[in-house]
Homo-oligomer: A and B are copies of this chain.
Amino acid sequence: MNRVFKALADPTRRQVLQLLRRGPMSAGELAAHFPVSKPTMSAHFAILREANLVDATRDGKSIIYRLKLSVLEDALLAFSGAVGLNIASDSPSPTKEPSHD
């Protein structure tokens, strides 16, 4: 979970995830969207992989990245719940009076 939040702390990495929403994309294609060098992007990809937020598979000369939404969802939901934020489902956001301690 800490790795997920660390990964999310960088705007470039969050944008990579957004780009990946549209579908799988190669490292080079992804990198082309950002004004930084490819080695720098490669390091960002590694951090996303370590957080388990993306999946990387080789396809010929390219490496294709895919978004792994479930891990992101789990982390966001778990933290939201821990903090009392009832973001999910259809319950009536109990922003006050947490019942347990």
Question: Interface of A with B (CB < 8 Å)?
Answer: 2, 5-6, 8-9, 11, 14, 17-18, 21-23, 67, 69, 72-73, 76-77, 79-80, 82-85, 87-90, 95, 98, 101
Contact = CB atoms under 8 A, between A and B. Distances in A.
A83 B67 contact: yes
A9 B18 CA distance: 19
A84 B18 CA distance: 8
Copies per complex of this chain: 2
A6 B80 CA distance: 16
Contacts of A89: 90
A79 B90 CA distance: 19
A8 B9 CA distance: 8
